[in-house]
Amino acid sequence: MDGHNATNGHQEDGHVSINEQSKDQQLDAARVEPGEHLTTNHGTRISDNQNSLRAGARGPTLLEDFVFREKITHFDHERIPERVVHARGSGAHGFFQVYESMAPYTKAAFLQDPAVKTPVFVRFSTVAGFRGSADTARDVRGWATRFYTADGNFDLVGNNIPVFFIQDAIKFPDLIHAVKPEPHNEIPQASSAHDTFYDFISLVPESMHMMMWVMSDRAIPRSLRMMEGFGIHTFRFVNDQGKSTFVKFHWKPLLGVHGLAWDEAQKIAGKDPDFHRRDLWEAIENGDYPEYEFGVQLLAEEDEFKFDFDILDATKIWPEDLVPAQRIGKLTLNRNPDNFFAETEQVAFHPGHVVPGIDFSNDPLLQGRLFSYIDTQITRIGQNFAELPINKPVAPVHNNQRDGKMRYEINKGRVAYEPNSLGGGCPMQSPENLRGYVSYPAQVEGPKVRVRSETFGDHFSQATLFWNSMSTVEQEHIAEALQFELGKVQVIAIRERMIALLARINRDLAVQVAYGIGVAATFDSPPPTDPSNIRKAPGLSMLDTVKDTIKTRRIAILAMDGVDLAELTEIQAALKAAGARSQIVSKFLSPIKSSDGKDIVPDATFITSGGSIMYDAVIVPGGAENADALKRQGDAVHFLNEAYKHGKAIGATGAGANLLAATQIPTPAAEASLQATAAHTPEPSAADVQAVIKQFIAAVAQHRDWNRLKELIPA
């Protein structure tokens, strides 16, 4: 609105700016046909991209070779600093729709109209590992969601675990320094199982609740599509009347919450370190769009102090039986990035990116993150990171911020300040009734002090609540995880301190872990709370999740020459109808012959498939020759033994059941998740086959049978 600006694409001297000419006009002026021709960064076409410019065929490369200089210089500078945490990630585009207006609680525009689809970009990540680390490490998973709303970007930056290790952000550098590879030898990668981490944790008891979550199967998810997400912090909703409601944010996957076996996760890290990244990419490419419901826990301001925990403490949950999570909308991820670096790597989230209707609480961990994130993004990408396409809001941007490295916006006019008259007063401030952001006027008072609130002092009750809420098998997994982690710790005094802290959560757990790591289970003080008086909370056990679908599950069908084509076809059709994706796994990729002489092309081999760890279940079709051939393949026998050890459903039809006899697997009838026809039934009826497939599908839907005698299986 600067009165000195020219209009209609002309500069003040009347000449047309080259930046304002259309691309077609420029091409026409140069008399060049448009097309996918190789060019320099400045548009000059390249005639030879295979050879440097030399002084003679065997002479030195010439410095004047601008094509080479530009190409190699750009390559030398293509990387940006790796994220300090959350370095390894994968992302996806999608949209969000609210189910009904949330106007009684918030004026946030994207939470008002169910007909509006708000664009989103989500980045999932591990925390501790470098960019080249494996997806399946035992670790917290970052879950950052950007809503491109009409009022600007809202970034919900969270994790797949609802609590955090520390209460105050001033401890964050210490936490990360402790969990990262030890600085003297840069070992271990993407693992918390080492001395410096547990030295820190054993001296910071507020971490024990988070430790229980990280030692559970939540830290090794089956898929990014099958894990919950949490905003961690307490935020505020603010409505049009200025009324504030405390809120916590949740993401609930429609496929349920499922995990891997620890042995399986370790093996996948070697076979396919991109396991989660590949799974997300392929699901979207196949049209199996990941879906999550958006949940909110709402708490009236007057109820802020009604519980025996502080709602601003990031090491605490709001138990859902006390504050239910209302599902108010759905997120659908339906498009993969076009360029990993430009989108997934350059996306720059910040919990301070909020919109009218969403505000902060006094959570000290959140307050520190509001500074840290913006500082990190400027260091990593540059001052103008918000102008990159993946970071740019759909809402128009008008401000007086100028210059800095890699400025993309070309601002016109001479006014870059406010207030002003030369630019017609623009850009001008927006009052609240025109969607201007106004911070909630929370009452704050008190002296400036460096202290922790006494209400943040209980570090063990909710850790015990989590432990009590686990099933027996989940408790076994936590104890085994702690034995693995603390068994890697070399300093005995650190192990002993950890056992003392575990005893304040549950003494039986402490005794079990102590025995596994070779230290005495001696306790100096009683638990601060009687564990028998701490109840269980719903929603904490992963065994309570959705178990009525096998949609998107990967099923291996083992087959070799002589397989019964009718049974194979029946299995494939049933699995497809149930929404699963099956693959025929064989010795070679060359066609195999069915029992009636038909060619069948396998999808993978025992070697290229990665083995049973890459699948959710395995089934063997009938055919006596097929079963005999598989029995002579150690890879096939190992495939089944390993699947059994990891709790996966195993099925067989007809003579395929004979293969089970060659394994270490107990009699099929002994377990509901081992579905097979009666042994030695080479020619089952069609009804028999259909019954086995139906039972098999029901077993797959249960995800795992964790109660197997896995110690007996050599896999």
Return the closest-CA partner of residue 241 out of 356, 150, 106, 442.
106
- How far, in Å, CA of 532 to CA of 710, rounded? 31
- How far, in Å, CA of 675 to CA of 669, rounded? 8
Q: What is the pLDDT of residue 573?
A: 97
Return the closest-CA partner of residue 97 out of 438, 334, 392, 350.
334
**194, two tokens:** 């080492």
Q: What is the pLDDT of residue 523?
A: 77
Whether 141 and 85 have beta carbons less than 8 Å apart is answered as: no
- How far, in Å, CA of 623 to CA of 628, rounded? 9
- How far, in Å, CA of 452 to CA of 171, rounded? 12
Whether 225 and 256 have beta carbons less than 8 Å apart is answered as: no
Superfamily of domain 547-712: Class I glutamine amidotransferase (GATase) domain (3.40.50.880)
User: What are the catalytic residues?
Assistant: 86, 159
Q: What is the pLDDT of residue 444?
A: 86
- The single-letter code of the amino acid at 355 is V
Q: What is the pLDDT of residue 713?
A: 79
DSSP secondary structure letter of residue 54: B
Which phi and psi angles does 187 have, rounded to 5°?
-135, 145
Q: What is the pLDDT of residue 621?
A: 95
SS3 406: coil
Contacts of 69 (CB under 8 A, 6+ apart): 63
Q: What is the pLDDT of residue 15?
A: 44
Whether 231 and 156 have beta carbons less than 8 Å apart is answered as: yes
**543, two tokens:** 């065994």
- The single-letter code of the amino acid at 416 is A
Q: What is the pLDDT of residue 306?
A: 96
Query: Side by side, which strands form the sheet with 554-558?
Result: 604-605, 581-586, 554-558, 617-620, 649-652, 674-676
Low-confidence ranges of the chain (pLDDT < 50): 1-18, 669-670, 672-673, 675-680
User: Within the chain, what is the greatest distance between any pair of CA atoms?
Assistant: 94
Q: What is the pLDDT of residue 4?
A: 39
- How far, in Å, CA of 467 to CA of 503, rounded? 12
DSSP result, 153-218: EEEEEEESSSS-S-SSGGGHHHHHHHHSPBTTTTBSTT---SHHHHHHHHH-GGGHHHHHHHTSGG
Q: What percent of the chain has pLDDT over 70?
A: 91
CA dihedral of 584, 589, 594, 600, whole degrees rounded to 10: 70
SS3 583: strand
Q: What is the pLDDT of residue 371?
A: 85
Helix 364-380 to helix 172-179 angle (10° resolution) is 60
- How far, in Å, CA of 377 to CA of 346, rounded? 9
According to DSSP, the β-strands at 674-676 and 89-98 are unpaired
Whether 554 and 618 have beta carbons less than 8 Å apart is answered as: no
Query: Which CATH architecture fits 458-543?
Result: Up-down Bundle (1.20)
- Going from N- to C-terminal start, the domains of the chain cover 89-195+221-387, 458-543, 547-712
Superfamily of domain 89-195+221-387: Catalase core domain (2.40.180.10)
**497-553: pLDDT as tens digits:** 999 999 999 999 999 999 999 999 877 766 666 656 678 999 999 999 999 999 999
Whether 576 and 582 have beta carbons less than 8 Å apart is answered as: yes
Cis peptide before 119 (omega within 30 of 0): no
Q: Is the pTM of this model over 0.95?
A: no
In the chain the first and final C-alpha atoms are separated, in Å, by 73
